[in-house]
Structure 1
Amino acid sequence: MSAESHSVFSRKHDSYVLLGFICLCLLSWFLWHYQINIGHRLIWSSSLSLSFPVLYLIFVCYYLRVRLLLRDAPSEEQQERALGPVADALILLSFSLLLLTLIGVAMSFFSNQVTYDKMMFIEKDSRRAQQVFQPASGSYEELLERIEGQDRQVVFFYKLSCRKCQRSVPALLSRVRDKRKILFVDGASEAGQKLTQHYGIDQVSTALVWEKGGYQVYSLATKEDDGLVTIQEAEMKRIVDTVNESGTTN
């Protein structure tokens, strides 16, 4: 009987190992790209997911090494004994992935990342969830007066369900020195809808700079055909510079 026929590992086992690697790579990419949100609360430090394939590759190298050694094993009993270390390596891999997941959740919980929930955008820290901006309240007429009654006013139109806002709001707030100089208007509200119609704005994640005699509109993020959201760096910089130079405070 040939050594191959005695081997405790077969092509079926090789297929399982390869399939596990592909699935883990897809999971790692998903976690890195989309992170994990439960109820729109960020609970995962996505950078750690990139270590998943590395750990699995270490296990694959060990598996291949044992498989090659078993090809020359003189007896089936010796091959069976060699299964123990492989099983231990698989248990260690599973424990390491679980530990990394717990560490990722803990890092996210204690980090200062900006995310959002169903009620408001929040900034997470180790003590509490703080509201990072105060949404503007009032009727259409009142908000219009707050905007056009100033020499200069920066307005940001958002929606809580907007993925572009999820990216652009944290980016904007991390760069401005005084967020109170920005008037945040919910584009889903009745007053917000009237304001977007008034200024000809057809999408949220849009900033408006009002100055005496006119206004300009800037789209701070775009959503590509593949669903990827990117920041419009040039327009973001213009808004940040305008806010940081402005002396008006709401």
Structure 2
Amino acid sequence: MDNSAPSPPLSLEEVLEIYLLCFEAAVAALPPFSLAYAMSCQYDDVDVPVWMLWDTDDLDDPPADPFSLSFPPEYVVDGLMKKDMCDWFCFLLESEVDRKLRELFGARVRWLQCCPRIPFLLATRSGEHQLEIPTHSVLLVTRCDGRMAVMDGTLQQFGWPRETWLQSWNDFLTTRVNTREQPCYLFASDEDRESARELATETDGGFWEVAQERMTELFGELDWEELKNLGTVERVERVKRQAEDKFAGANEEACERYDREQGRE
């Protein structure tokens, strides 16, 4: 006779962490930013310090004295991995996370766009609109009892520590939203979602279109019953491996598809 007690259900935070790991595996499948130089700057029309970043394609216009520059702090390097990816985080996860949390907890999830209160700005030398503080996208989770939390999958781009990826709404609003701007947050519209869908075929060589297809497959392959029965460390490692395997070669597939499409034009 099996006297073992059934495993308790996963908590809402544990479920969200699984989806965060899936997104992080997708990001890791992209080639990293090829950082050549980084310089801390101040601009009169930007309210926060700016890290100006040169990649290896910008070397025809290097900093004035590049050899005097030290290597940037770790938070800049970490932030580059998630820079400008918050819309993709919400685009890939919103619908599925909403579906799963409704099923398990009676909660709902919505894509929220806010004016972030950031300690610094990462600006690439060759990018557009780099000296403008961007709108930031997160997922707002509303529990069945009305309590709200914010899931932020790209918080490292602003130097915020990864372990704070899930915050209460009040903590997020008071520490990470620029409430001087009005409105300081809005829900994404259907037009925003459609725009992201269209941009997915072009941005990063069409990577996000391939990522969406593979992410949908991954969601269908997650064994939630098995994950529930694993300890925290085992569960995290299992999801990481499964997600990394799913996104292996995604960038190469996107490049091949993009080249084929360009060849037809």
Larger radius of gyration: 1
Same fold at TM > 0.5: no
Q: Could you tell me the TM-score, scaled by structure 1's length?
A: 0.28
Q: Could you tell me the TM-score, scaled by structure 2's length?
A: 0.27
